[in-house]
Structure 1
């Protein structure tokens, strides 16, 4: 985080810089509005903290310039006790918040985090408006997703078989569609079949089709998916569930690019790109002799490991914005964003169901939202507890530090602090007395 601090009071300004350094926040200082204007034209900041009264260009004039011609960033206005009316005018002009001098450092940083969060969230939905599954709207700027995108650019023009691996709900079909849409086959059919979702006795006829009279009830010819997808792409989802006897027939398709309908005697040439997907460990299935080794090697030409949502957490805001727009259109709502604590809860959540679970959560939240903002209550999640905090010292010292920090996080609210710590309120009160934290 980098802040621009604008104040003509050198002593106060230096104190503020020292506080920011303690919080690991980078700063740039300016002693008047004109100087601040120059910095804003030359550098990038996440927020501006500025005083109302300064020589040359004052705070209100600088704020007006930021709103009309400057960069889009949040402004926190500082004012003295006698300047409340001016602070209110600043809010009307577009300042996100104001704080009255003197103030406690904790209050300043809490308000800064809030206005920066709000600015970030306002951008999420706007970016989500233009996002859709495909290429132009690739949902994901994380290193993992950008690496997959770069790989798709290389493999899409080729006819090679692709194997997508990853847990359920990670978006394997989305990636398969992206491969198809950026291949020479883009204007041809893209078909998908969930191997595990089709009864074994019907799977063969679904894939290969059948001739009239091939079996009892076959009153006419049926064209299978391999033929329907001619010149296009066929996604074989959950390929690890394919019965062994059908794996042999699929292997012939991969090797010879020919099929034979059930009950037929003629080989039919096909031109279909095969993409297979699985949430299972195919190597382990091969060792267990539940998946043919030769079939595995035929499929494993180009392999893409799709990351879990936990492995690409930086994409959660983008996905949230996209899903809000989707469900607004579907349900007829006008949800415009998500509360900062609700987004933090999503970012702290484990998501065993991955992107699909996030989609379901946002659908629920959009339906339940009574305002234009999704709240923590709408999501049905509990507030996140700070993770990966390392405490040092004796057990008593560690316990005291954890209690003190929980009380700070909840601004002294003992009920919430007790819930976070997993103890009763009565136990917390006795610990507060024991450790003299009152």
Structure 2
């Protein structure tokens, strides 16, 4: 994967860019001064360097550092950053060999689009030949369950086309990961993949994020800005939580899809765009249409094909694979061995309903691995209380359970009979209902009562 160096006086800028680019799988280092960066550059070959023009070094600015970089690493791509728009400086930097001039504050989409452009530029023989959109940290885990295989079959079938697709699924199921897989298997794989969360965008912000704006178009618009449609030019645009867009923005979006041109806020100029559109929603757009929150004609434009991402509880056969993958990734992140889950802990994980799906599972695994120190396995004490409380406690050792009213303690043998019989009586001597009330299966109840399973 490509190595990237961030050189900036402000640690907040370094950390922001580091977070953005690490999520894309890049190896990212940071330096708070030009002199530190030079020492690092003599030891490591970086493919891309984001460098602030105004460095805190007394006799070294971004331009001077760029010249030194080109002597050390002629094929490295240098992006000069600045919070002060200066056309003369920008032109001079590009003439002297800068790949681009990036103004602060910048958007995540702008950074990703620029990095993707560098990777796809044949002038820069980077180590990584994969497109930017392959996110190593969030790379989709291929499950083996029937529902997982059906999902991959649908992706393989529709990805090579240019169809607009609606991706449906509960929160945390991995809808963006599916969108990335579709992009990677499409003819646009080596073009940008731009993802935009529409969940909390106001009308003004949504217009700017989607279509861009001209300088002075509204209060705070100090510079011209490209929108997601322009940034995704030639590639794929993924709009998450699309049913949350307001009606006026939906109308503007419909026009762009129909006409394939965008008009920036504050501009009369129309810009042709060539993108593939993928959209996602937790709520089925048909339901949103029925309640008057989503335009029917926009739904028809987007729904040339739909993909449903299964919930985690419907693919529990894949749970061991997900757990192993997340534990491996967490071990790399923490820089330590994470061991494995105990039998009781695994039983708890299998029994839980996972309302937050894969995202919730990943967070649980990361937390459990962090809490586990100096022991070979993650046991039940490392799991959240709601997961422990949801577990069927028949086979769980009582001393391992937290003392809460939510836990039903049932011991093997005669001591369990009184509680079971109390529950069985109001169930009308129906063992199936009694078992359900106790959160047991029918066979376990029969074993406890020492009754044949053939009885009603």
Q: What TM-score bracket applies, with the shorter chain setting the length? A: 0.5 to 0.7
- Alignment CA distance shift 1:257-1:372 (3 Å): farther
* Residue 139 of structure 1: how far off its partner (Å): 2.8
- 1:283-339 per-residue CA deviation (whole Å, 9 max, x = no partner) reads 122122211000011111110111111111111111000100111111112013222
* Residue 342 of structure 1: how far off its partner (Å): 1.2
Q: Report whether the alignment pairs 1:159 with 2:165.
A: no
Alignment partners' CA distance in 2, 1:297 and 1:217: 36
* Residue 185 of structure 1: how far off its partner (Å): 1.4
* Residue 431 of structure 1: how far off its partner (Å): 4.6
Alignment partners' CA distance in 1, 2:326 and 2:416: 46
Equivalent runs, 1:101-180 vs 2, <5 Å = 133-134=138-139, 138-180=141-183
Alignment partners' CA distance in 2, 1:375 and 1:412: 14
Partner of 2:242: 239
Alignment partners' CA distance in 2, 1:355 and 1:194: 19
Q: Report whether the alignment pairs 1:312 with 2:298.
A: no
Alignment partners' CA distance in 1, 2:257 and 2:157: 21
Partner of 2:381: 377
- The equivalent position to 1:253 in structure 2, one of 251, 256, 266, is 256
The structure showing larger relative contact order (alpha-carbon pairs under 8 Å, at least 6 residues apart) is: 1
Q: Report whether the alignment pairs 1:208 with 2:195.
A: no
- 1:124-160 per-residue CA deviation (whole Å, 9 max, x = no partner) reads xxxxxxx9654xx643111111111111111111111
Partner of 2:41: none
Partner of 1:195: 198
- Alignment CA distance shift 1:419-1:205 (3 Å): closer
Query: Is the 8 Å Cα contact of residues 169 and 354 (structure 1) preserved in structure 2?
Result: yes
- Alignment CA distance shift 1:315-1:299 (3 Å): same
Query: Is the 8 Å Cα contact of residues 132 and 138 (structure 1) preserved in structure 2?
Result: no
- Alignment CA distance shift 1:262-1:430 (3 Å): closer
Q: Which runs of 4+ in 1 moved over 3 A?
A: 131-134, 383-387, 409-413, 418-421, 428-438
Alignment partners' CA distance in 1, 2:184 and 2:252: 28
Alignment partners' CA distance in 1, 2:316 and 2:262: 43
- Alignment CA distance shift 1:133-1:419 (3 Å): same
* Residue 204 of structure 1: how far off its partner (Å): 0.5
Alignment partners' CA distance in 2, 1:412 and 1:220: 64
Alignment partners' CA distance in 2, 1:430 and 1:253: 67
- Secondary structure at 1:251's aligned position in 2? helix
- Alignment CA distance shift 1:346-1:424 (3 Å): closer
Alignment partners' CA distance in 2, 1:226 and 1:192: 10
- Secondary structure at 1:197's aligned position in 2? coil
Alignment partners' CA distance in 2, 1:434 and 1:285: 46
Q: Which has the larger radius of gyration?
A: 1
- Alignment CA distance shift 1:264-1:437 (3 Å): closer
Query: Is the 8 Å Cα contact of residues 164 and 277 (structure 1) preserved in structure 2?
Result: yes
- Alignment CA distance shift 1:187-1:335 (3 Å): same
- Secondary structure at 1:235's aligned position in 2? strand
Q: TM-score, normalised by structure 1?
A: 0.59
Alignment partners' CA distance in 2, 1:164 and 1:239: 10
Equivalent runs, 1:255-404 vs 2, <5 Å = 255-370=258-373, 371-380=375-384, 381-382=387-388, 385-386=391-392
Query: Is the 8 Å Cα contact of residues 191 and 234 (structure 1) preserved in structure 2?
Result: yes
- Alignment CA distance shift 1:424-1:341 (3 Å): closer
Partner of 2:408: 422
Alignment partners' CA distance in 2, 1:434 and 1:373: 34
Alignment partners' CA distance in 2, 1:153 and 1:433: 53
Tell me the C-alpha RMSD between the 2 structures: 3.3
- 1:271-293 per-residue CA deviation (whole Å, 9 max, x = no partner) reads 11111000012112212221100
Alignment partners' CA distance in 2, 1:433 and 1:345: 23
- Alignment CA distance shift 1:205-1:333 (3 Å): same
* Residue 419 of structure 1: how far off its partner (Å): 8.2
- Secondary structure at 1:198's aligned position in 2? coil
Query: Is the 8 Å Cα contact of residues 211 and 263 (structure 1) preserved in structure 2?
Result: yes
- Secondary structure at 2:199's aligned position in 1? helix
Farther-moved stretch of structure 1 (156-165 vs 372-381): 372-381
